[in-house]
Amino acid sequence: MANRRGDAIYLGLLIVVSAIGFLASRLWPHEAKVRELPDFSPPPLEIELAIELPFEITRFEIREPPTLMLSDKMPTALSQVRSALLESSKPVEIRPIRSLASLDD
């Protein structure tokens, strides 16, 4: 029961303080100074010179992708795809594997 009584006291004090603030604002009005906000619009854009790139754009020929004559057998088809991928790619960097143990017999 003490919690409800304390809550009622705090609610009553809140209402009294709010009423006093409202009456004080009505009895003693004050003039607020209004400030003009600055203009945040972007400045006009004027380009005097034409923009030229310092280099020429290189256009490359589009190469035909390799076509595969896949057979009906899955292992043969996978080996053909693997060999085609190995022929069309080159290694960028080869590093030795240091964290895995090698199994050399």
**70 found inside a domain:** no
Q: Which two tokens stand for residue 96?
A: 């030795």
**35 found inside a domain:** no
**82 found inside a domain:** no
Instruction: Tally the residues of the chain.
Output: 105
pLDDT mean across residues, the chain: 77
Q: Which residue has the higher pLDDT, 41 or 103?
A: 41
pLDDT single digits (tens) 19-56: 999 998 888 877 777 788 888 888 887 777 666 767 77
CB 52 within 8 A of CB 34: no
**24 found inside a domain:** yes
CB 68 within 8 A of CB 84: yes
pLDDT band (50, 70, 90) for residue 103 = low
**18 found inside a domain:** yes
Residue span of the structural domain in which 7 resides: 1-28
**89 found inside a domain:** no
The total number of structural domains in the chain stands at 1
pTM over 0.75: no
What's the rounded Cα separation, in Å, for the pair 86 and 68? 14
**5 found inside a domain:** yes
Instruction: Tell me which residue has tokens 């017999």.
Output: 105
CB 63 within 8 A of CB 88: no
